Structure 1
Amino acid sequence: MAASLQRVVTAICRLSPSIVLPTRRYQIGLQRLPVSVAVIPGVCHRLCRFYNKASVLQDEEAAQAVEILSRYKDRPWEYLQSEEYTNRYGSSPVWTGYRRNHKGGIPPQKTRKTCIRGDKICGNPCPICRDPNIIIHHQNVKLLQQFISPQTGQVFDPTRTGVCMKQQKKLNEAIDAAKDHGLLPFQIPRADFSGEDYSNSHDAVGSTPPPLTSNDSWYSWYDEITPDKMEVSKVRKTYRAYLKR
């Protein structure tokens, strides 16, 4: 009977890895018991109940994790107004105090290309990749303002914020989209107009002169130009074969 019970336990272990450790301990205990020991009634029933309870708990934990990740997926700006964000970051930007893992005391000139490659996450990911609730969106204005200088209006360099190049590209696109939608202010260069009309300040770009007579030139400053006789003779000598006689 002990051998048959051991087979049942082995089959259950193959079905669910979550109860491998307790069942292995139970198998070791069965091996130490003599073969003549009678099997306690209802052991298989208890094992089935334990397996069902463990699977239900595992499914609930997985569903809860998915719910946490998708809670702010449609409205990511609500995360920055939540108590969870305040307890974690306070009133500071998400990149405050972040330091990338690197060799030596001098950080590299460029941040890493990406922090997540498929299912693999690098050590100490960037401030955006480390928090799944931080989602870059052009309507998430409070997040975008943390990466814009309030004095100059320029986007902070990724070497200062520590954001990887993949997320920095998304940030730049979201900031441009927010400016296009009027969610973020931006400065437009302005030139004061003094009232002087620069379009007709020169005769060559002014209004069209009246019709010309036979002896008049098109522009008045044409008559003031006197070509050099030496230069004219050189040109005539060079193009003598093409000039009309």
Structure 2
Amino acid sequence: MAASVQSVAKVLWRLTPSVLHPLRIYQPCVQKLCPRVSVSPVFLQSHSFCQAASLHDEAAAQAAETLSRYKEKPWEYLESEEYIEKYGSSPVWTGYRRNHKGGIPPQKTRKTCIRGDKICGNPCPICRDVNIIIHPQNVKLLEQFISPYTGIIYDPTKTGVCMKQQKKLTEAIDASRDHGFLPFQIPYVDFTKEDYSNSHDAVGATPPPASLTAGESWYKWYGEITPDESEVTKVKRKYKAYLK
């Protein structure tokens, strides 16, 4: 009888795991009736394994959907609850410190954090978060790397961004300014009338040759220049053979 019950259990296991769910619930009763029958715990816990696998697949699908959504609209990540819980109101590079030997940090950041499939230890603030994507329309991210006082892009030694991402940031900020997403100031220069005046002899009207007298220079300011006697002597000595 025990062999027949065990063979029936194996058949039910082959049919569907949902049939074994009641058997797992009434396992103590079955053991009391047939103490020689031993049902493997692997068979009884298969339903829980299926549920865990389905939950894992749903989580992976949801993560892939979120990642694809942020790739199309990367500015939505900076407004999400995940970003606020992770960074708050601070920039993404706040508190970042690169791993390096000694107490003095290197003068330049690394060239790149990702080489093929290999990611270096402690990647830069942009490479460590997959959802942070540099885009000309991602204004909130680009503003974190621009000084609000001077409008100059922060040096990578301050933010810790690798050189590859720094180049992308510079190109995205320039494109964003060209398209009008980011403001920029042109320095104002107050020009006076003297800058546009033509009263100076060097830029004024040339006097006619008839008004010149013997020994008078063409320009008035040229006559006020006194040459150095030592330099004149050197020139005369050098071209003595050619002078009459």
Give the TM bin, normalised by the shorter chain.
0.5 to 0.7
Residues of 2 paired with 1:97 and 1:232: CA distance? 67
Aligned residues: 203
- Provide the residue aligned with 2:202 in structure 1: 204
Q: Deviation string for 1:154-197 (max 9, x for gaps)?
A: 21111221111111111111111122222222232222122224
- Given that 1:76 and 1:133 are in contact with CA atoms closer than 8 Å, whether structure 2 keeps it comes out as yes
Q: Deviation string for 1:13-69 (max 9, x for gaps)?
A: xxxxxxxxxxxxxxxxxxxxxxxx96932444458x979988866654443332121
Percentage of identical aligned residues: 68
- Provide the residue aligned with 1:79 in structure 2: 77
* Equivalent of 1:213 in 210, 216, 219: 210
- Provide the residue aligned with 2:125 in structure 1: 127
- Seen in structure 2, the aligned counterparts of structure 1 residues 236 and 97 have a Cα distance that, compared at 3 Å, is closer
Residues of 1 paired with 2:235 and 2:60: CA distance? 92
Q: SS at the partner of 1:69?
A: helix
Shift of the alpha carbon at 1:107?
Answer: 2.0
Residues of 2 paired with 1:41 and 1:152: CA distance? 77
- Given that 1:94 and 1:127 are in contact with CA atoms closer than 8 Å, whether structure 2 keeps it comes out as yes
Residues of 2 paired with 1:201 and 1:225: CA distance? 20
Residues of 1 paired with 2:207 and 2:117: CA distance? 76
- Seen in structure 2, the aligned counterparts of structure 1 residues 120 and 220 have a Cα distance that, compared at 3 Å, is closer
- Given that 2:217 and 2:223 are in contact with CA atoms closer than 8 Å, whether structure 1 keeps it comes out as no
Shift of the alpha carbon at 1:239?
Answer: 1.8
Normalising by the residue count of structure 1, what TM-score does the alignment of the two structures yield?
0.67
- Provide the residue aligned with 2:145 in structure 1: 147
- Given that 1:100 and 1:126 are in contact with CA atoms closer than 8 Å, whether structure 2 keeps it comes out as yes
Q: SS at the partner of 2:70?
A: coil
Residues of 1 paired with 2:176 and 2:16: CA distance? 59
Q: Which runs of 5+ in 2 are unaligned?
A: 1-5, 18-45
